[in-house]
Amino acid sequence: METGHKFTDLENSAVELTLTIPKDTVTGEYQKIVNKYAKNLQVKGFRKGKAPISVIEKKYGSAIQEEAMYTMIESTVEKTLKNIEDEYKPLQYSTPTLVDEKSLKFDKEADFSFALTYDIYPKFELPEYSGHEISFPGVTVDDEPLQEELTKLLDQNAVVIEKDGPAEKDSIVTVDYFEIDENEVMLDGTKREDYVFTVGTEYNIYKFDDDIIGMKAGDTKIIEKSFDEDSEITEYAGKTVRVSVTLKVVKQRDIPELDDEFAQDVSEDYKTLDDLKQATMKKIEEGLKARIRETKISNLYDKLLENLTISIPESMVKVEQENSWRNFSSQSGMKEEQLLQILGVQGQTKEKLLSEWKPQAESSLKIQLMVDKITSNEKIEVDDEEVAENAQQFEGIEDARQKDYYQLLWKKDRKMQKTVDLLLEKNTFKEGEITTYTEFMKGKNPPR
């Protein structure tokens, strides 16, 4: 008699797999463990390996039963999961967990049943993904984005120089500061040295930007700051603190003139300011075109999601959340420990952020699963010619495994791009409400 199994579908694309090992197998496996003990144990009063089975069982019965039970569970689960149909195979990051492990009962002379739960790949039906009319904003481009880009270029090429005068708005200052008590004695743990920030950005915990305007290098000032009851810095909420601030260095940006000479400094491709303006405008238009495409895709996904029902596995959501955390941590430029400390000062935690990100994680996963299934449904592939055309970008990778890995990622990304192109072809996009370039680009970035 073979091991029996039964699947019960649970919420969030999880299943419960019940396995029943027949009595004969249970008895046989139990006997193997007993014989192993009998052969290797030294029991007082008997030569090694000569103690009767009854003595072995009496002395080590519970340990033998436990070993036999878990040995059978492990081997049975491994064999079953290897041979079951694909739709019930566990996700690679979902570890099967025993159900009511503490309540398991083992009898060497009876069938042995146990159950485990794990997540599986979601089963779902695709919505109709062609023939929709999708609206997107009409965008007008005026001189404002050009002026903003030129201003950024000027700022990027500015030279920071030290100045003798007082600190002003937009001055770059270096300060030492610490909190003091009523006797003007420094409070332990509050001292910060050589802190650099731009006046007006309020990139300091006490937001004393306005208070240091007019101070010169070498000046020290005691500043009193009060925090609201609902301050995001919970440890200061409703409190008033006194801070001693010493201004050490004042610097300013020396911004160049916007002329032909500046254009030539930016790139040897430009001879005049008009050349720089034309190139900048082309960049703006290309960026707008890409953003409009992203918006079309995002709006189409929103439409398709209205008629898509997928139960996302919890393990899949957690992996997506952790990926978001790693990206967030990387973009911060800080070590995780330092980032967590700063979040703590703001009354925030990693757990709270992950919870806030969960809806977006679920939405992103639904889109990924949907696009993957459309790709399969439309039999979209990357042919050898496409691979050959893009082989050059992998030539510098000497490690064969690494090269195969990056080529696989490229193929997956290319298949997704082809699927998105197909979706754009299969649907109609209509220009809707007119907005300016600045408003459009400042709007919420499409998350896909």
**What is the rounded average pLDDT of the residues 223-246?**
89
Residue-wise pLDDT for 9-28, tens only, equals 999 999 999 999 999 999 98
What confidence tier does 269 reach under pLDDT thresholds 50, 70, 90? very high
Residue 420: pLDDT over 50? yes
Alpha-carbon distance of 362 to 313, in angstroms, equals 9
| DSSP reduced 3-state for 156 | helix
Residue 1: pLDDT over 80? no
Alpha-carbon distance of 46 to 309, in angstroms, equals 67
Residue-wise pLDDT for 367-393, tens only, equals 999 999 999 999 999 988 888 888 888
> What domains, with CATH codes, occur in the chain?
4-119 (3.30.70.1050), 159-254 (3.10.50.40), 260-307+367-442 (no CATH)
Q: What one-character-per-residue DSSP string does 284-324 give?
A: HHHHHHHHHHHHHHHHHHHHHHTT------HHHHHHHHHHH
Q: pLDDT averaged over the chain?
A: 90
Closest CA to 252 of 169, 177, 153: 169
pLDDT on residue 21: 93
Closest CA to 348 of 231, 241, 447, 444: 231
pLDDT on residue 47: 61
Are 227 and 238 contacting, i.e. CB atoms less than 8 angstroms apart?
A: yes
**What is the rounded average pLDDT of the residues 396-405?**
86
Residue 431: pLDDT over 80? yes
DSSP state for residue 394 in the 8-state scheme: G
DSSP state for residue 193 in the 8-state scheme: E
What confidence tier does 2 reach under pLDDT thresholds 50, 70, 90? low
Residue-wise pLDDT for 329-340, tens only, equals 999 888 888 888
DSSP state for residue 231 in the 8-state scheme: -
pLDDT on residue 357: 94
Residue-wise pLDDT for 32-65, tens only, equals 888 887 776 666 666 666 666 777 677 777 888 8
Are 15 and 8 contacting, i.e. CB atoms less than 8 angstroms apart?
A: yes
Q: Residue written as tokens 């300091």?
A: 204
Specify the higher pLDDT residue, 431 or 106: 431
Alpha-carbon distance of 340 to 250, in angstroms, equals 31
What confidence tier does 447 reach under pLDDT thresholds 50, 70, 90? very low
